[in-house]
Amino acid sequence: MNVLVLNAGSATLKFQVVVTDADRIATDHDEKLIRGQIERIGGESVITLRLPDGSSRKRTAALRDLRAAVDWLVGFVTSTDSGTGLTARADLHAVGHRVVHGGEQFRNSVLVDEAVLRGIEENVELAPLHNPHNLRGIEAARAALGDGVPQVAVFDTAFHQTLPEHAYLYAIPYPLYRRHKVRRYGFHGTSHRSIAYRFRKLTGRARADVRIVTLHLGNGCSACAILGGESIDTSMGFTPLEGLVMGTRAGDIDAALLDYIGAKEGMSLPQVETMLNNQSGLLGISGLTNDMRDLLAEANELHDRRARLAIEMFCYRARKYVGSYLAGMGGADAVVFAGGVGENSPEIRARICEGLEWAGLRIDPAANQALVGGHEGRFSTPDAPLEAWVVPTDEELLIARDTYRVVCAVDAPKT
Ligand code: ADP
């Protein structure tokens, strides 16, 4: 089955075409035909393509909205120019959409029908910056491919719907949960699920035997405690703002600060929230950048004090979360790193692991150094009771596989 995977944002559309089916899933031979993104939708859009032969290409096109962008994309990937071998729109058999918020309705990936569209709509108030664009992505794909092509919604929150009540509730008056759905939802679920699945394949474990802490460290960052293959706690909360120090997000703070900062700085509450989302984290502390690569260069080569501090805070917070999840699960078998930082920075990984020797985590520096650029593997010493791994996340692949499974109604999508 040729699956078009779409991740629609406000002005950006990320995409991939994946060939998958039961045999390919079983033998891990899914084929990625093309991927890329369209940016600045609404004006002169910039299209970045990674073609099947591995080459990259940039183009521009005037794409007035998401519908025009999806239409252009479908036209391009089915043209001979794309090198995909697809020659007609009918060669795209299904579409898998990344949808950010599934609220409490969606615990699994689902075939999109009118009821599902209403469900996504109902969760718009929980994710006003994301769900509307995801809905428009679904409408655009319908318009481009017709009603006959099945579409599947894969939710970022779904994997965390297994959190127990004591982990997902905030300790605030209980009626707020009932009346306004105030609770921890967690995000990056498709990523944590993808990492856990790959980890169990690499280590030959059954799903029920997966007891790990996963760290998705990209521009957005989150930690997840996975016990028996299921998410039992995660660091992002009602929104993606909570938890770890991120590129531009503060992560955990004292809620009383919103009012205090607002009063002192003459800012409204929404302005303070924007500051906590967009001007905090690594960027806020360093005053320089949210990009970890640049920050490491500033810290190591130019000895910038605040760059060092930002990195220290990033690593310390991540280590604290690992420690708390080890306590929450009564120990774990591995800490697994992923995301742009987790997959590429041995230095950050080492600094997060430093001080976890008490828990049995001992790293092999040479193995750690070797794991960059998409390589997967273990970097703890062979005798370490708590292992350390790098397992690159592949959300698009999981979305494509879920799409196949849902459309063909083969077993429930599992980690
Ligand atoms: P997003 O969350 O936007 O998908 P990514 O997962 O691509 O982001 O991660 C982006 C982050 O990964 C950036 O901070 C970038 O600097 C960092 N990164 C990428 N390569 C390296 C590297 N070699 N060393 C340190 N950080 C890196």
Strands 94-99 and 151-155: parallel
Q: Write down which residue in 121, 155, 189 finishes a domain.
A: 155
Indicate if 74 and 146 belong to the same structural domain: yes
Cβ of 342 closer than 6 Å to ligand 1, yes or no, is: no
Helix spans in 11-59 (H): 22-27
Return the pLDDT at 413. 54
C-alpha distances (whole Å) from 227 to each of 58, 111, 159, 189 are: 43, 28, 12, 14
Q: Please check whether residue 193 lies inside any domain of the structure.
A: no
Residue 79, pLDDT above cutoff 60: yes
Indicate if 362 and 218 belong to the same structural domain: yes
Indicate if 138 and 233 belong to the same structural domain: no
Q: What mean pLDDT do residues 65-77 have?
A: 96
Beta carbons within 10 angstroms of residue 305's beta carbon: 10
Indicate if 212 and 141 belong to the same structural domain: no
Indicate if 89 and 211 belong to the same structural domain: no
What's the CA gap between 243 and 303, in Å, rounded? 27
Ligand 1 atom index nearest CA of 216: 6
**Per-residue pLDDT tens for 239-283?**
999 999 999 999 999 999 999 999 999 999 999 999 999 999 999
CATH number at residue 59: 3.30.420.40
Cβ of 393 closer than 6 Å to ligand 1, yes or no, is: no
**What is the helix (H) or strand (E) element at residue 234, kind and residue range?**
strand 230-234
pTM to 2 decimal places: 0.95
Q: Write down which residue in 138, 155, 172 finishes a domain.
A: 155
Q: Please check whether residue 413 lies inside any domain of the structure.
A: no
Parent domain of 215 = 204-390
Indicate if 116 and 244 belong to the same structural domain: no
Helices 66-77/131-145 angle, 10° precision: 50
CB-CB contact of 65 with 72 (8 Å): no
Return the pLDDT at 410. 76
Cα(71) to ligand 1 centroid in Å equals: 30
Residue 200, pLDDT above cutoff 80: yes
Cβ of 247 closer than 6 Å to ligand 1, yes or no, is: yes
Return the pLDDT at 194. 97
Q: Please check whether residue 253 lies inside any domain of the structure.
A: yes
Return the pLDDT at 242. 98
**Per-residue pLDDT tens for 203-246?**
999 999 999 999 999 999 999 999 999 999 999 999 999 999 99
Which tokens in the block code for residue 1? Answer: 């089955």
Q: How confident is the model at residue 415 (pLDDT cuts 50, 70, 90)?
A: low
Indicate if 232 and 112 belong to the same structural domain: no
What's the CA gap between 4 and 18, in Å, rounded? 7
**Closest residue (by CA) to atom 4 of ligand 1?**
218
Return the pLDDT at 411. 65
Q: Please check whether residue 411 lies inside any domain of the structure.
A: no
Cα(396) to ligand 1 centroid in Å equals: 17
| Mean pLDDT (the chain, rounded) | 96
Indicate if 138 and 276 belong to the same structural domain: no
Q: Please check whether residue 211 lies inside any domain of the structure.
A: yes
Cβ of 291 closer than 6 Å to ligand 1, yes or no, is: yes
Residue 136, pLDDT above cutoff 70: yes
Indicate if 139 and 255 belong to the same structural domain: no
Cβ of 381 closer than 6 Å to ligand 1, yes or no, is: no
Cα(32) to ligand 1 centroid in Å equals: 22
**Closest residue (by CA) to atom 19 of ligand 1?**
340
Beta carbons within 10 angstroms of residue 76's beta carbon: 19
